[in-house]
Amino acid sequence: MNIAIIGTGYVGLVTGTCFAEFGHNVTCIDKVTEKITSLLMGEIPIYEPGLDVMVQKNTAEGRLHFATDMATAIPAADAVFLAVGTPSSRRGDGYADLTYIYAAAKELASHLRDYTVVIDKSTVPVGTARQVERIIRESNPNALFDMASNPEFLREGAAINDFMRPDRVVIGVESKKAEAILREIYKPLFLQDTPIVCTTIETAELAKYAANAFLAVKISYINEIAGICEAVGANVIDLAKAIGMDGRIGSKFLHPGPGYGGSCFPKDTLALMRIVQEYGENAHIVAAAVEVNAAQKARMVRKIREMLDGSETGKTIAVLGLTFKPETDDMRDAPSLTILPALLEKGANIRAHDPKGMTEAKKHLPEDITYATSAYEAAKDADCVVLLTEWNQYRALDLEKLRNLMRHPVFIDLRNVYDPEVMKRSGFAYTGVGRK
């Protein structure tokens, strides 16, 4: 199959590369010339484990191509995937900004020749595919195409595995012809018994929002329970294990921490709330999850302050991890973006380290943060260490070395990586989330 991917961001690049790995002929298109130039030189604009190797392999083998002009790939494409950004509106109202989607639809319309399936891959509100279809038909009344929706369910840091071995593939279509083409594209997954859920376009569009909102609710729930555990003297780790063994609940996303972040959960929960409001419905549970998440980040600031004897003013805080999760350089809505400025405002000195995220962090965090080359450099003469992102290299720190470097051996573990008793025996004043 000849496939065109419009957009070379996180979703577009991973999708296009994996389709090429399936054996398809794929062209990834982006209007940003610098991005395409870098990709042609083998430079990957994002950090995703394994992606660089797969891009280089499929480029060398002639299945993966990059271009700035739609005319190079759209006319010959059997399928065109729209994978451009749908950020929250700059108005701050939570609505998804569909500017890039609609602009891409209008531009690609003039390049459609033979029958083509146009697929929304981006996370978009219900009804977007219908608008894209309208724009294409108005721009090119003679175009032969069908619309479809094929939401992505990729986790940053595990995107390649998620794409190649997904729990399911969701496709929303209205014609058997479009369904057949999408099934052919995903045929390698069908051969390994991956379920393909074929449904309506509207259902497929809503599925991604509903899934992300459910996971956000689950995270906020366990964070709220963690606060209760601290109040009554319970252990949230043991509690999460106990309830997670219930097959109706499951153990995933029951890990307390400083709150969720990233490119999906914050944006998609707000967008879902706006969608249901437009239809006169309510999303009370989702709204509560959003509120709890914001409160959790503020609670982490108070926890740090309490461990510094009630004030962070003039104190040096070593921060380990800045990205919203490990194995990515993504800083979008990372807890660090809320927690660290709040500490700085009260006069803290922050020295931070992240294995992959410091370049991105410098673009989003205040300028007066100092960046260290290692966790130990960050901890030198620090009044406390805050473990904010659970990168593997932070899971086996030399505790004696760390303690000897610090001015005061205070360890604030916002990911519950370390055993409290081990930390206390190692000479640290220690606190986690939801346990003493």
Domains of the chain: which residue ranges? 2-199, 209-290, 299-431
Helices (H), ranges, 186-311: 187-190, 201-232, 236-244, 265-278, 284-307
Q: What is the pLDDT of residues 46-67, one digit of tens each?
A: 899 999 999 999 999 999 999 9
- What tens digit of pLDDT does each residue of 232-276 get? 999 999 999 999 999 999 999 999 999 999 888 998 999 999 889
Which whole number is the average pLDDT over 18-31? 97
Q: Cα 3 vs. chain centroid, distance in angstroms?
A: 25
- pLDDT, position 97: 87
Nearest Cα to Cα of residue 354 among 380, 323, 385:
323
Convert the pLDDT of each residue in 284-329 to its tens digit: 999 999 999 999 999 999 999 999 999 999 999 999 999 999 999 9
Asked if 28 is an active-site residue, the reply is: no
Average pLDDT over residues 362-372: 96
**φ, ψ for residue 125 (rounded to 5)?**
-65, 155
- pLDDT higher than threshold 70 for residue 6: yes
Structure tokens at 375: 């966790």
Instruction: Compute the C-alpha angle 176/209/36, nearest 5°.
Output: 75
CATH 1.10.1040.10 at 209-290, yes or no: yes
Q: Looking at domain 2-199, which of 3.40.190.80, 3.40.1360.10, 3.40.50.720, 3.20.20.20 is its CATH number?
A: 3.40.50.720
From CA 306, how far away is CA 321, in angstroms rounded?
A: 21
Helix/strand/coil percent split, the chain, to 5: 45, 15, 40
The predicted pLDDT at position 90 comes to: 63
Asked whether the beta carbons of 118 and 87 are under 8 A apart, the reply is no
What confidence score (pLDDT) does residue 93 get?
Answer: 65
Q: Got the DSSP string for 343-387?
A: HHHTT-EEEEE-TTTHHHHHHHS-TT-EE-SSHHHHHTT-SEEEE
CA 32 – CA 158 distance, rounded (Å): 26
Nearest Cα to Cα of residue 86 among 67, 66, 101: 101
Output the pLDDT for position 278.
87
Average of per-residue pLDDT across 395-406: 97
Pick the CATH number of 299-431 from 3.40.710.10, 3.30.470.20, 3.40.50.720, 3.20.20.70: 3.40.50.720
Q: What are phi and psi of 410, to 5 degrees?
A: -115, 125
pLDDT at 245: 97
Q: Determine the length of the chain.
A: 436
Number of alpha helices (DSSP H) and beta strands (DSSP E) in the chain:
17, 14
pLDDT digit string, tens, across residues 116-171: 999 999 989 999 999 999 999 999 999 999 999 999 999 999 999 999 999 999 99
What average pLDDT does this structure show over 78-104?
85
Average pLDDT over residues 90-105: 82
Q: What is the pLDDT of residue 247?
A: 95
Q: CA triplet 293, 294, 299: central angle to 5 degrees? A: 95
Answer yes or no: pTM beyond 0.85. Answer: yes
Find the mean pLDDT for residues 9-31. Answer: 96
The residue type of 383 is: D
User: Is a pLDDT exceeding 70 seen at residue 92?
Assistant: no
Catalytic residue among 18, 229, 264, 384: 264
Query: Are 319 and 351 a contacting pair, CB within 8 Å?
Result: yes
Residue 67's DSSP bridge partners are: 29
Alpha helical stretches, state H, 2-43: 10-21, 33-40
Supply the pLDDT for residue 436. 74
Predicted confidence (pLDDT) at residue 11 exceeds the cutoff of 90? yes
Mean of pLDDT over the chain:
95
- The structure tokens listed for 273 are 């709330």
The reply to whether 299-431 shares the fold of 2-199 is yes
Q: Half-sphere exposure of 408 toward its Cβ, with a 13 Å CA cutoff? A: 13
> Per-residue pLDDT tens for 197-235?
999 999 999 999 999 999 999 999 999 999 999 999 999
Radius of gyration of the chain (CA): 23
Q: CA separation (Å) from 99 to 13, 86, 96, 383, 418? A: 20, 8, 9, 47, 45
Task: Give the type of residue at 280.
Answer: G
Q: How far apart are the first and last CA of the chain?
A: 57
Residue 245: Cβ within 10 Å count: 10
Q: How far apart (Å, rounded) are the C-alpha atoms in residues 379 and 412?
A: 12
Distance CA 39, CA 62 (A): 14
